[in-house]
Amino acid sequence: MKLICIGRNYTEHIKELENEKPTDPVVFLKPDTSILLKNQPFFIPDFSDDVHHEVEILVKINKVGKYIDKKFAHKYYDEIGLGIDFTARDLQSQLKEKGLPWEKAKAFDGAAVVGKWLPKSKFENVDNISFKLLKNDEVVQDGNTNLMLWKIDELIEYVSKYFTLKIGDIIFTGTPAGVGKVVANDKLKGYIENDELFSITVK
């Protein structure tokens, strides 16, 4: 099982980090060891002083596929979820300056929150799903999949050119604006519309 993550998929997030708008989806991977164990707190790693939350809509792949055409992509998932792509922003900035891969900043142990799953059938349109992240009961990120530069089915088509998608693989579809630093004792709660999909404490 692999986590396929998409960067720079929301215009306002690109602006807040002063990145260039990509011409193709930005793709990176996280290993399964990066998944935060259920009911466990997130521990800020000792190699970073600036870990950011990035809330994202998740898609769980339900059958094997390669070179999937966008018009068939909807057949390859039937669950939608919510998670966090934790990012050691200080370390990521250092790596980017040197033209090095991001994995140490993105794929460390516990860096991926995977919340509960909802049936895709719950949503009239997967390209119009609202979601949000609360930090200490205040909304800090508020997004909708209709703001994605590349929608879910387009992402499946794109990533399946490069990676065979297997049952249980998870696609992190990108984060909206509002990313920010977490500190010890922060409480993070994620919602898709009115459903709470995860609640974690930062240590």
3-state secondary structure 60-121: EECCCECCCCHHHHHHHEEEEEEEEECEEHHHHHHHHHCCCCCHHHHCCCCCEEEEEEEEHH
Q: What is the pLDDT of residue 23?
A: 86
Domain extent for 21: 3-201
In the chain, % of residues over pLDDT 70: 95
What are residue 147's phi and psi, to 5 degrees? -95, 0
Whether 42 shows a pLDDT value over 60: the answer reads yes
**131-to-56, 66, 103, 147 alpha-carbon distances in Å:** 8, 29, 26, 12
Task: Work out the pLDDT band at 122, boundaries 50, 70, 90.
Answer: very high
User: Which residue(s) pair with 197 in the sheet?
Assistant: none
Distance between CA atoms of 63 and 129, rounded to whole angstroms?
A: 23
CATH (domain of 169) = 3.90.850.10
Strand order in the sheet with 87-88: 87-88, 51-53, 180-181
Q: Mean pLDDT, the chain, as a whole number?
A: 95
Does the pTM surpass 0.75? The reply is yes
Task: Work out the pLDDT band at 7, boundaries 50, 70, 90.
Answer: confident
Report the amino acid identity of residue 161: K
Q: What is the pLDDT of residue 8?
A: 84
Task: Work out the pLDDT band at 129, boundaries 50, 70, 90.
Answer: very high
DSSP codes, 167-184: TT-EEE----S--EE--T
Q: What is the pLDDT of residue 10?
A: 87
Task: Give the count of domains, the chain.
Answer: 1
**132-to-31, 137, 138 alpha-carbon distances in Å:** 25, 11, 10
Residue in the block written with tokens 């990012």: 87
How far from the centroid of its chain's Cα atoms is residue 55's Cα? 6
